[in-house]
Structure 1
Amino acid sequence: MRKTNSPTMIPPPISPSSIFPSSISTSTIDRRRFCKAITITALSSGGVLRGLAAGPTKSDAYRLVAETDRERILKAGALYLTEKPVTITSFRSDRSPGSVHDFFSQADYFWPNPKDPNGPYINRDGQSNPDNFNEHRKAMIALSIQMPALTSAWLLTGERRYGESACNHLRAWFISPVTRMNPNLEFSQGVHGVSTGRSYGIIDTLHLVEVARAASLVAARFLRKEEMTALMSWFRDYLQWMKTSDKGQKERDALNNHAMCWALQAAEFARLIGDGETRSQVHRQYTDTLLPDQLGADGSFPKELARTKPYSYSIFNFDVMASLCQSLKGVGQDLPTFKLSDGRGLCKAAEFLYPYLKDKSTWPYPKDVEHFDSLPVRSPGLLFAGLACEKAEYVSLWKTEDPDPIDREIIRNYPVRQPLLWV
């Protein structure tokens, strides 16, 4: 564990080309020759790549991301040191059936019916209603941006001020009786005249995934014992609600990206609280259900391609899938490299999407009805798949993409912003 009273030393720079030498084509040589070539390269570079015969080590991946994101992280960390935590209790909506501590949001794609303006809302898939109440979402997204950035700054520098500030957000959201959020989503993505809350709303707490990841690194260093107990209790209660409530079980069994998002949340929340049983269950869910049911033979996500925003949803589901595989590393078979008997897996999904992330003009499917021009942005899936699948070109493209989108719709579907916390 890094000390918090002195700067953390970052090892010498490491690049995708040094992890994956350009003279080596892993698609055209067998495993033995690849390992031999890696060993020779490692020896000739002073041992920097020692151990890379089976893929990049954790320290190598950390160094790569640290080098890429150091300036960005420290700039964000300095900015967010001045931001006080703001939770949902600061925003009350008269549309919410819950209390001031209950998260509330409205379904994005539902609008007033022109034929019955005062009646139940109707669906317009892919078109977000700007009149919805979104303040709770905005507050949670701000948490998901600020707290992990502060944690990353603490990891890079060891400076206590960043860790303390990160944990102030944890105190406000999950510990303080005055400002904490209740650990459920009973009133998320409701539809006027139809429902006060729906299972689909559980996707809103996808923005707590990286918060939980950051908390697993920083919380024990700066929270008191009783605060740690309260934090773990919150995530334990919320995970239990996700697993046992009608809304939670329906979301778990969804047929598209919603189930993938449920799984990523369950995996990370369980990781934080040390729930190995749930993590094993999610691992089986991925190998037995999510992967075979959602990924096509060509590596596409057919259910996402059928949407009115096929490009956005394909990228989104790929990023969540890759993050889920990264989250479950160490549980059972290694999911980043796992594939079904027909070859479907993370590497296949990356192979399909990579050309369209590199050059959007080649996208052969319909354009998204909204926000198409705001994509692509930096895809964490490219990084995770690049490292796992030994594809330097994926990592190189990841480094060039925009890591901090400003389009609100894109931000809403962008749960992993600090890959330093994941490698």
Structure 2
Amino acid sequence: MAFNRREFCAAVAGTIVVGRARSAWAAGESAAYVMVAQRDRGRILKAAKEYLPMEPVTITALRSPKSPGGPHDFFSQADYFWPNPKNSDGPYINRDGQSNPENFNDHRKVMIDLSVRMPALTAAWLLTKDRRYAKRAGDHLRAWFVTPETRMNPNLEYSQGVHGVSTGRNYGIIDTLHLVEVARAASFLGPEALSAADLQSVKQWFREYLSWMENSEKGKQERTTLNNHATCWALQASEFARLTGDEQTRDEIRQWFIGALLPDQLGKDGSFPKELARTKPYSYSIFNFDVMAGLAQSLKGSGTDLTTFALPDGRGLCKAAEFLYPYLKDKAKWPYAKDVEHFDALPVRSPGLLFAGLACRHEEYITLWKTLNPEPTDKEIIRNYPIRQPLLWV
């Protein structure tokens, strides 16, 4: 059922029963923020209390003898590449959609841990104003992006390498998709979490990494891919630019979204044809939808509102949501091939459903969003789940 803002605000205001959510409403926060705060308050505070005593761990604590880089260089191996059974010592070969369990994934794991813990702590700080949460969120930022002994170098030269083929590939840039919500969360923190000098150092790290994404050969190649990798590049660039105040880059991405990203990837029926052609069409369709919806949400604030934008033929976020909604509601209706892996672990709570429900005025999307699992445990699903704290996005 469609709803207007006044009806939605009234409904939300009438159901708020939690303390900080009420003060957010009184302060004039949006109805969406209040609704998400009410929905997620218990989940956020439970997670934040669990993460509060956990010390930050960065990539410098975990070395791989396979890495061609140094202790501060992020390293990962391409997921879908395996030893060649005909030449065990030769270059690895591709098996699309089938992750090699022997790969080195420790750097990914600690980055994902960062992306889970630091935004949850920040969300808890927003809800409670308990400075302990902000301070611990700042500790993570300082360890990863400031402290010389533990910081990560601001590039991904050695990400998703392939044995016998490459020490690193442009496709590896998708690994730092897990820094998107970290950057988002950092924008809400101030002196309660970091000194002014440390906060500037954090922003400088993201400024340098964004420059590498834009100007390195790997970064340029990734931007021109024609599937979810380009969408993920754009979401990263948008959020890193948001943190550093780079509105020129964000304006360029808005134009790219309208002129190329959307028309090149979205079919007239709202599907993502290039994702449907993969061996995990269900997973990748949801993933690209969530990232594209996150990108549209990220770019709100000036210029064209991409959450409601549509091409002349109707293609846009609302069309993509219309296509996927029935299959998120009932996976049994999925008319395409089942994913070769992890099909049973889906769907989980889709941030795209929330963003599209708000933008496209479809209450049923939000109703479904509320029922889906916000805490996936399958490692592959977690790897493709970069937006976990919608409170930071609405």
Length-normalised TM-score, structure 1: 0.88
Is residue 2:108 matched to residue 1:137?
A: yes
Q: Cα deviation per residue 1:355-382 (whole Å; 9 max; x = unaligned)?
A: 0000000000000000000000000000
Name the SS for the 2:160 alignment partner: strand
- Please name the residue that 2:21 is paired with: none
What is the Cα deviation at residue 46 of structure 1?
A: 11
Correspondent of 1:216 among 181, 187, 198: 187
Correspondent of 1:415 among 386, 391, 394: 386
Is residue 2:262 matched to residue 1:297?
A: no
Question: Share of identical aligned residues, percent?
Answer: 69
Larger CA Rg, structure 1 vs 2: 1
Structure 2 unmatched ranges of 5 or more: 16-27
Q: Cα deviation per residue 1:197-227 (whole Å; 9 max; x = unaligned)?
A: 0000000000000000000001454211211
Correspondent of 1:126 among 97, 103, 110: 97
Is residue 2:77 matched to residue 1:89?
A: no
Instruction: Tell me if structure 1 keeps the 8 A contact 2:287–2:385.
Output: yes
- Please name the residue that 1:310 is paired with: 281
Structure 1 unmatched ranges of 5 or more: 1-21, 27-34, 50-56
Name the SS for the 1:105 alignment partner: strand
1:298 and 1:164 mapped to 2: Cα distance? 47
Q: Cα deviation per residue 1:65-114 (whole Å; 9 max; x = unaligned)?
A: 00110100000000000111000000000000000000000000000000
Q: Cα deviation per residue 1:247-289 (whole Å; 9 max; x = unaligned)?
A: 0000011000000000000000000000000000111111111
Equivalent residue runs for 1:87-166 within 5 Å: 87-166=58-137
- Please name the residue that 2:222 is paired with: 251
The 10-residue stretch of structure 1 (86-95 or 223-232) with the greater mean CA deviation from structure 2: 223-232
Question: Structure 1 residues 273 and 44, CA, compared in 2 at 3 Å: closer, same or farther?
Answer: closer
Name the SS for the 1:218 alignment partner: coil
2:35 and 2:314 mapped to 1: Cα distance? 28
Correspondent of 1:286 among 241, 252, 257: 257
Q: Which amino acid in 2 is paired with 1:266?
A: A
Correspondent of 2:41 among 67, 70, 85: 70
> How many pairs were matched up?
382
Q: Cα deviation per residue 1:158-206 (whole Å; 9 max; x = unaligned)?
A: 0000000001000000000000000000000000000000000000000
Question: Structure 1 residues 178 and 125, CA, compared in 2 at 3 Å: closer, same or farther?
Answer: same
Correspondent of 1:267 among 213, 238, 245: 238
- Please name the residue that 2:151 is paired with: 180
Instruction: Tell me if structure 2 keeps the 8 A contact 1:279–1:331.
Output: no
Instruction: Tell me if structure 2 keeps the 8 A contact 1:376–1:401.
Output: yes
1:399 and 1:46 mapped to 2: Cα distance? 14
2:143 and 2:283 mapped to 1: Cα distance? 33
Equivalent residue runs for 1:333-412 within 5 Å: 333-412=304-383
1:201 and 1:398 mapped to 2: Cα distance? 30
What is the Cα deviation at residue 43 of structure 1?
A: 10
Question: Structure 1 residues 206 and 219, CA, compared in 2 at 3 Å: closer, same or farther?
Answer: farther
Q: Which amino acid in 2 is paired with 1:393?
A: E
What is the Cα deviation at residue 318 of structure 1?
A: 0.1
Question: Structure 1 residues 342 and 79, CA, compared in 2 at 3 Å: closer, same or farther?
Answer: same
1:45 and 1:362 mapped to 2: Cα distance? 32
What is the Cα deviation at residue 331 of structure 1?
A: 2.9
Question: Structure 1 residues 226 and 112, CA, compared in 2 at 3 Å: closer, same or farther?
Answer: same
Q: Which amino acid in 2 is paired with 1:390?
A: R
1:42 and 1:323 mapped to 2: Cα distance? 22
What is the Cα deviation at residue 315 of structure 1?
A: 0.2
1:83 and 1:218 mapped to 2: Cα distance? 19
1:44 and 1:379 mapped to 2: Cα distance? 25
What is the Cα deviation at residue 119 of structure 1?
A: 0.2
Q: Cα deviation per residue 1:210-246 (whole Å; 9 max; x = unaligned)?
A: 0000000014542112111211110000000000000
Length-normalised TM-score, structure 2: 0.94
Name the SS for the 1:222 alignment partner: coil
Instruction: Tell me if structure 2 keeps the 8 A contact 1:42–1:48.
Output: no
Question: Structure 1 residues 200 and 359, CA, compared in 2 at 3 Å: closer, same or farther?
Answer: same
